[in-house]
């Protein structure tokens, strides 16, 4: 297999430049731009912005893409930026995507560029942190843009650099993210043939790449359950209907849907309640309680079953106690699906970029990505890039105050984005 892949890459050329020479140019470019990529990453990390509020982040990106000589479009899906590289020669159009938003998390990592930004989110004071690595995604795509722009004369086709806002979800009442970009026609406008994306992982050793054909990441759906009882004095619960205890029973019941009603040998699934709100003081049983949570599924039939089971369980438990429950499930993201043919085509690029021993065929994860909206429109390939210090036995999960990324892994991300683009343009 290695010999076939090597021969294929060595034998193909365009305008007299072999692809192996192009890969060498990428390696040299990645070495040259690495310090700048790290600098960009630290700047974005120190000054993070929440979903649909990435104003300064977008300005920095747009300014740099303009300096590269790209055709730049701003205000895409509110705060998104798109850069277009035209080689002037016929060929396919490849899109590369990075997400740019941060999270309402207060950072605890002791680094010189730690975020000190605070804001009010959903009525609560909180810190703002790139606790999922979107700062690295943005910096790496900017690095790839510099390399590929410098190689313009040796390439064919077009490259679209998509810097997407609001991957973590738009604020309540707003649209945003990849779904809004698709709705606004960003893929059709640029006639995109395929799209590539990557996600850094604090759990995966720097220098490693993990991928999976077909379903890679779960669909994510937000749900709310409003339980209404009858308010009364805390000393006389029999005079009312307690929505707090009903909500507790519903939460416990929800956990049996996955463990007792789903065929878990088929695919994984998760139901988690992340927020519960009700009451104003200790001696008043409130009239209402609201629960908010997430549903993660990797199979459409199981998703349908889970939606129905949540509705059935919540309403029946509430009714049994004399309360009522109203369930609302938001559309959410789709399953992040790696096109089978495209995946088979790009695996040799992963091997040649990272080394075959550093490329891992992984399993599906119950994490979710709105890259799924892009990959639902055109063939897409999404993979995980290592960001954990090699050999470290521990790591902090994503979306936590202690989330940490080893910047030594960023160069591989820049090289991989660049080589995926070059190989697809040259081979198609």
Q: What are phi and psi of 311, to 5 degrees?
A: -60, -50
Q: Which of 54, 101, 369, 370 is catalytic?
A: 101
- How many other C-beta atoms lie within 10 A of the C-beta of residue 383? 25
Q: Could you confirm whether 73 is annotated as catalytic? A: no
- How many other C-beta atoms lie within 10 A of the C-beta of residue 305? 17
Instruction: Please say whether the beta carbons of 378 and 417 come within 8 A.
Output: no
Question: Distance between CA atoms of 269 and 193, rounded to whole angstroms?
Answer: 32
Question: Which residues is 126 bridged to in the sheet?
Answer: 119
Write the CA distances from 149 to 9, 247, 423, integer angstroms: 22, 56, 15
Write the CA distances from 356 to 52, 117, 341, 375, 398, integer angstroms: 39, 41, 19, 25, 27
Residues recorded for the chain: 428
Q: Could you confirm whether 125 is annotated as catalytic? A: no
Instruction: Please say whether the beta carbons of 180 and 238 come within 8 A.
Output: no
DSSP state for residue 396 in the 8-state scheme:
P
Which pair of tokens denotes residue 404? 């940490």
Q: Which of 49, 99, 167, 267 is catalytic?
A: 167
Question: Distance between CA atoms of 131 and 103, rounded to whole angstroms?
Answer: 6
* Residues designated as active site: 101, 167
């Amino acid at each position: 297999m290695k010999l076939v892949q090597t021969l294929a890459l060595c034998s193909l050329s365009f305008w007299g430049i072999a692809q192996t020479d192009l890969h060498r140019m990428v390696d040299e470019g990645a070495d040259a731009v690495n310090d700048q990529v790290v600098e960009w990453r630290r700047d974005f990390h120190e000054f993070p912005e929440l979903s649909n509020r990435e104003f300064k982040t977008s300005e920095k990106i747009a300014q740099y893409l303009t300096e590269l000589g790209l055709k730049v479009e701003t205000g895409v899906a509110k705060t998104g930026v798109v850069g277009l590289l035209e080689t002037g020669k016929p060929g396919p159009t490849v899109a590369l995507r990075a997400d740019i938003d941060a999270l309402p998390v207060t950072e605890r990592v002791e680094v010189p560029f730690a975020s000190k930004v605070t804001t009010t989110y959903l009525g609560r004071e909180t810190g703002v942190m790139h606790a999922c690595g979107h700062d690295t995604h943005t910096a790496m795509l900017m690095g790839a843009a510099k390399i590929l722009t410098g190689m313009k004369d040796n390439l064919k086709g077009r490259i679209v650099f998509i810097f997407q806002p609001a991957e973590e979800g738009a604020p309540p009442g707003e649209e945003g993210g990849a779904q809004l970009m698709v709705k606004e026609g960003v893929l059709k406008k640029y006639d995109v043939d395929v799209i590539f994306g990557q996600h850094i992982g604090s759990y995966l050793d720097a220098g490693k790449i993990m991928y999976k054909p077909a379903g890679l990441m779960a669909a994510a759906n937000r749900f709310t359950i409003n339980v209404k009882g009858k308010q009364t004095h805390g000393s006389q619960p029999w005079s009312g209907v307690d929505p707090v205890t009903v909500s507790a029973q519903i939460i416990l019941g929800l956990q049996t849907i996955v463990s007792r009603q789903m065929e878990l040998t088929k695919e994984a699934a998760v139901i988690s309640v992340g927020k519960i709100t009700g009451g104003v003081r200790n001696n008043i049983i409130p009239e209402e309680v609201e629960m908010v949570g997430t549903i993660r599924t990797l199979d459409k039939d199981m998703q349908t079953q889970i939606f129905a089971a949540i509705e059935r369980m919540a309403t029946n438990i509430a009714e049994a106690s004399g309360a009522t429950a109203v369930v609302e499930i938001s559309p959410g993201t789709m399953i992040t699906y790696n096109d089978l043919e495209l995946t088979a085509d790009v695996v040799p690029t992963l091997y040649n970029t990272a080394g075959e021993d550093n490329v891992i065929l992984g399993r599906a994860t119950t994490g979710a990505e709105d890259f799924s909206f892009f990959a639902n429109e055109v063939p897409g390939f999404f993979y995980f890039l290592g960001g954990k210090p090699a050999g470290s036995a521990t790591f902090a999960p994503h979306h936590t105050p202690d989330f940490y990324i080893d910047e030594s892994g960023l160069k591989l991300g820049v090289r991989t984005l660049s080589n995926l683009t070059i190989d697809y343009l040259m081979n198609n």
